């Protein structure tokens, strides 16, 4: 893989992990790259649909193609379809958001969720990874 392709993937990774839209300078700082290099990478990613401008501003978010790739990856976990009715039932009875995590090495990946009726203070995005010891679901897997 070329160095420019690796940089482009790193840009998408930074945007996907951010909790808000990011500007060129913020991305450049996170990757320790010159802003001009990041801008050129964003331009190519924008044309490919992997990133999008946030409300016509100078900030960027993951694009529609990145979202479709994420969804198709999560769809590969067939257990999602089996578990979703049970997650919905748990969420409706408890009022809490119910999530399904799978273990990938020393990490847990959230692959399904059913929102509860209560307020959610923090719910990681689907596909987001966490060290196993960092959350209750991971600690249960380690036990």
The 10s digit of each residue's pLDDT in 33-59 is 999 999 999 999 999 888 999 888 889
| Predicted TM-score of the model (pTM) | 0.59
- The first and second tokens of residue 43, run together, are 């331009």
SS3 44: helix
The residue among 17, 125, 7, 138 whose CA lies nearest residue 71 is 125
pLDDT, one tens digit per residue, over 100-136 is 888 888 888 888 888 888 765 556 677 777 788 877 7
The phi and psi torsions of 22 (rounded to 5 degrees) equal: -115, 150
The residue among 42, 24, 44, 43 whose CA lies nearest residue 34 is 24
- The first and second tokens of residue 68, run together, are 């479709």
């Amino acid at each position: 893989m070329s160095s420019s392709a690796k940089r482009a993937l790193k840009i998408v990774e930074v945007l996907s992990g951010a909790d808000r839209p990011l500007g060129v300078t913020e991305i450049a700082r996170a990757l320790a790259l010159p802003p001009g290099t990041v801008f050129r990478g964003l331009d190519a990613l924008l044309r490919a649909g992997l990133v999008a401008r946030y409300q016509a501003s100078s900030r960027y978010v993951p694009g529609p193609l990145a979202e479709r790739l994420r969804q198709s990856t999560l769809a590969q976990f067939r257990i999602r379809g089996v578990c979703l009715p049970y997650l919905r039932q748990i969420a409706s009875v408890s009022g809490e958001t119910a999530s399904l995590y799978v273990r990938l090495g020393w990490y847990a990946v959230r692959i399904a969720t059913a929102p509860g009726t209560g307020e959610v203070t923090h719910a990681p995005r689907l596909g987001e990874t966490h060290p196993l010891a960092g959350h209750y679901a991971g600690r249960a897997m380690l036990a």
